């Protein structure tokens, strides 16, 4: 096997090992994918300042995110259908994150349930909430997250309607996959993926299946999900969720200064500057390009995190320099999971940590507390 040196190596391996419809599900943005591409490419428009002959010994990447100690400021993003990249995907990714010392966020749309993930981890994980029209279901999800010991609720604010991803429609995406001849062929040529899936207890959508009203099988689940995203969701509901949860709250999907100010008013613990990895509003700005403006507006009132387009430790360091207290990776860990299961998620985290450590040192810094806009040589944002 060729050496795995960077995140794109994991991506290439995942492309070979995961059936096309699920690889494409991860590797896609909405409509023309312009925001998805900008998330990645805008990082390379920021130039770092090289510094020399500075004592670089005794470096550390350790810091905190919402008061929790982290080995580096990189959490795993909530991603739906993670268990289709690799059998038991959410459980494996959560374990890899726990062992590495970074937060794992479980999506509402996960394949493994909250309880499945809690059963294999000791460290509290974070739970991401989509607010559904069925508020009883939402209260039930919040209660399950609390019972599982989750230490933060991540409220996703940018998905009242679903941005269309053309690849999913062309691939007739469904979970479990509809067994069309095309899909059967895609799976037959990836026997390792099939074998792993067959070893699990068919944990298909246990997270929702059996907990939502009138959901008895996969087809009712599909229509239930489609009609359940609540277009009426508003800032008033954030207050309600805060009360129901009572713990640490992170609002995800903020890309505008005015929204950041509204979020800071809610008393949430953090916001995530995010455009859902380019999967919602196509034509929106990249996350990194909006970060400095948002930090300037609310950075002294609320912790600001960022996701979208991070593919290296250099990217993480740029986000930290521009004022993020923490970052998240979505696709990089999904590629790792699809390529090599738990080991691949660990590999993704190790790659980013090593790159970040060397980059920080070559910028003349030994700890993240000293990293600020001073390490940026040039930035269009
Ligand atoms: C996501 N994202 C997402 N966000 C969320 O709040 N709930 C979810 O269920 C999902 N599902 C999901 C599935 C897949 C396959 C992807 C790629 C993304 C968005 C995710 O949390 C995060 O915002 C982006 O993935 C960050 O961008 P990168 O790191 O993937 O570039």
Residue 315 pLDDT exceeds 90 = yes
- pLDDT tens for 34-85 read 999 999 999 999 999 999 999 999 999 999 999 999 999 999 999 998 998 9
**324, 70 in Cβ contact below 8 A?**
no
More confident residue, 149 or 111: 149
Q: What is the DSSP letter of 108?
A: T
CB-side neighbour CA atoms (13 Å) of 58: 2
- Within 10 angstroms of residue 381's Cβ, the number of other Cβ atoms is 16
DSSP of 321-336, one letter per residue? HTT-SEEEESHHHHHH
Structure ipTM: 0.99
CATH topology of domain 7-378: TIM Barrel (3.20.20)
Q: Is 310 annotated as belonging to a binding site? A: yes
Supply the mean pLDDT for the chain.
92
Structure tokens given for 98: 């726990």
Is the CB–ligand 1 distance for residue 331 below 6 Å?
yes
Residue of the CA atom closest to atom 13 of ligand 1:
79
Q: What is the pLDDT of residue 186?
A: 83
Instruction: Please list the alpha-helical segments (H only) found in the chain.
Output: 7-17, 20-26, 34-41, 89-100, 114-120, 135-147, 166-170, 181-188, 191-199, 218-228, 235-245, 257-265, 287-298, 313-321, 331-362
Is the CB–ligand 1 distance for residue 274 below 6 Å?
yes
Lowest pLDDT segment from 70-79, 231-240, 289-298, 333-342 = 231-240
Atom number, ligand 1, closest to the C-alpha of residue 26: 15
pTM value surpassing 0.90: yes
pLDDT mean over 341-346 = 98
pLDDT mean over 199-218 = 61
Residue 20 CA, ligand 1 centroid: distance in Å: 18
Q: Reply yes or no on whether 276 is catalytic.
A: yes
Pocket test for ligand 1, best of 10, 141, 279, 313 (most atoms within 8 A of CB): 279
Residue of the CA atom closest to atom 5 of ligand 1:
78
Q: Is 80 annotated as belonging to a binding site? A: yes
How close are the terminal C-alpha atoms of the chain, in Å? 40
**338, 86 in Cβ contact below 8 A?**
yes
User: What helix, strand, coil percent values describe the chain, rounded to 5?
Assistant: 45, 15, 40
Parallel, antiparallel, or unpaired: how do β-strands 63-65 and 68-70 relate?
antiparallel
- Strands in 152-156's sheet, in edge-to-edge order, are 74-76, 326-329, 303-307, 270-273, 248-254, 152-156, 126-129, 105-106
Give the CA radius of gyration of the chain.
Answer: 20
Is the CB–ligand 1 distance for residue 39 below 6 Å?
yes
Residue of the CA atom closest to atom 14 of ligand 1:
79
Closest CA to 255 of 279, 299, 290: 290
Q: Please pick, among 86, 183, 276, 305, the residue that the annotation labels catalytic.
A: 276
Is the CB–ligand 1 distance for residue 173 below 6 Å?
no
Is the CB–ligand 1 distance for residue 308 below 6 Å?
yes
**334, 85 in Cβ contact below 8 A?**
yes
């Amino acid at each position: 096997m060729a050496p795995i040196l960077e995140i794109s190596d994991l991506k290439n391996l995942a492309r070979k090992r995961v059936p096309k419809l699920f690889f494409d599900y991860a590797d896609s943005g909405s409509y023309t994918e312009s925001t998805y591409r900008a998330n990645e490419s805008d990082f390379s428009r920021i130039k770092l300042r090289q510094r020399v002959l500075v004592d670089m010994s005794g470096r550390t990447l350790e810091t905190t995110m919402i008061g929790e100690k982290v080995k580096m400021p990189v959490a795993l993003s909530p991603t739906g259908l993670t268990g289709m990249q690799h059998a038991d995907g959410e459980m494996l990714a959560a374990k890899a994150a726990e062992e590495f010392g970074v937060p794992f966020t479980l999506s509402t749309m996960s394949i493994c349930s909250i309880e499945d993930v809690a059963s294999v981890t000791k460290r509290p994980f974070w739970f991401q909430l989509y607010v559904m029209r069925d508020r009883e279901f939402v209260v039930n999800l919040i209660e399950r997250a609390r019972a599982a010991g989750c230490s933060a609720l991540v409220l996703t604010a940018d998905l009242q309607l679903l941005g269309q991803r053309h690849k999913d429609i062309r691939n007739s995406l469904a979970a479990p996959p509809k067994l069309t001849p095309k899909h059967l062929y895609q799976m037959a040529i990836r026997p390792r993926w099939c074998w792993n899936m067959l070893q699990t207890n068919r944990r298909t959508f246990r997270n929702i299946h059996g907990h939502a009203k009138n959901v008895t099988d996969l087809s009712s689940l599909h229509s239930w999900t489609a009609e359940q995203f609540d277009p009426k969701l508003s800032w008033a509901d954030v207050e309600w969720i805060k009360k129901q949860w009572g713990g640490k709250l992170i609002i995800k999907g903020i890309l505008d200064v005015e929204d950041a100010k509204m979020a800071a008013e809610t008393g949430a613990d953090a916001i995530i500057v995010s455009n859902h990895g380019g999967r919602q509003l196509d034509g929106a700005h990249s996350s990194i390009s909006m970060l400095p403006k948002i930090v300037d507006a609310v950075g002294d009132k609320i912790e600001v995190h960022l996701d979208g387009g991070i593919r290296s430790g250099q990217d993480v360091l740029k986000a930290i320099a521009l004022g993020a207290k923490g970052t998240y990776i979505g696709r990089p860990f999904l590629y790792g999971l699809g390529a090599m299961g738990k080991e691949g998620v660990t590999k993704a985290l190790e790659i980013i940590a090593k790159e970040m450590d060397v980059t920080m040192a070559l910028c003349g810094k030994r700890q993240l507390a000293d990293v600020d806009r001073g390490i940026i040589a040039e930035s269009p944002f």
